[in-house]
Homo-oligomer: A and B are copies of this chain.
């Protein structure tokens, strides 16, 4: 039973890698860089995107994204609540619901993203942000064709999360620590959190911010702009045949 389960899982992940490479090739051809943005439910993915795509706090503070044209692919089990919020900012948003699958898939996979490619006007954007389903486990297992992985960990979730969900924290190039405006009201040691992060992903890039107050969000806009300006390397590890 167990052995079979592992073999089926391996097959599923192999197939996923193949389709992820095909997605990546299509994104590369269109000159679009892709960020896979992940977090637990309610960690603030959509609010952070609202901040950086909506021009900050209405005071023109944010210019980190400059002329970069951003599109968003919204992954949700059901509904289009986040897509509706983001489309108010006049950003091209495509909604992907995972509901028709396994009674509601808990993650995006490469094939779901592939099914949405036709609906996205890739020639009109430079950077695609894929907002994954809120979950700290399975999204980390499925590449979807992204150039970079970023995750948001909210300080309200506790210091132990890197140790409890190590794959997620290990496979991301950037860890955003959100909701720092709540730090004075929590028993949360930032030092211990960062030590835990360092234990599972030594030297991982991280930034502290509050999507709610706007503090520190400029750094995330800058990071997105840097990703948008990278040239895809001709041979990347995840683009190699298995």
Of B81, B103, B165, B185, which is within 8 A of A141 by CB? B103
A50 to B185, CA, bound (A): 20
29 pairs, A vs B, C-beta closer than 8 Å: A2-B100, A2-B101, A5-B102, A6-B100, A9-B102, A9-B103, A40-B41, A41-B157, A41-B161, A41-B164, A42-B156, A42-B157, A77-B137, A78-B164, A78-B166, A79-B163, A81-B163, A102-B141, A104-B167, A105-B137, A106-B106, A106-B138, A133-B137, A135-B135, A135-B137, A156-B182, A181-B185, A182-B182, A187-B212
Tell me the complex Cα distance, A111–B1, Å.
11
- By a CB distance below 8 angstroms, the chain B residues around A9 are 101-103
Min CB distance, A156 to chain B, in Å?
Answer: 4
A window 6-39: CB within 8 A of B: 6, 9, 13
Q: Which residue of B lies closest to A40 (CB)?
A: B41
Instruction: Please tell me if A124 contacts chain B, counting CB pairs below 8 Å.
Output: no
Main secondary structure of the interface of A (DSSP, over half): loop
Contact partners of A71 in chain B: CB under 8 A: none
Given A135-B135, A137-B133, the answer on whether A160 and B102 have CB atoms closer than 8 Å is no
CB of B182 within 8 A of CB of A185, answer yes
Known contacts A138-B106, A179-B156, A187-B212: A101-B6 contact under CB 8 Å: yes
Q: Is A134 an interface residue (CB 8 A)?
A: yes
A126 at interface by CB-CB < 8 Å: no
Is A76 in the interface zone, CB < 8 Å from B? Answer: yes
List 10 other contacts, CB 8 Å, given A41-B165, A135-B136, A182-B186: A6-B100, A41-B136, A41-B157, A41-B161, A77-B167, A78-B164, A106-B106, A134-B164, A154-B156, A156-B182
Give chain B nearest CB distance to A188 CB in angstroms.
Answer: 10
- Tell me how far the C-beta of A189 lies from the nearest C-beta in chain B, rounded to whole angstroms: 14
CB distance from A198 to the nearest CB of B (A): 16
CB distance from A102 to the nearest CB of B (A): 4
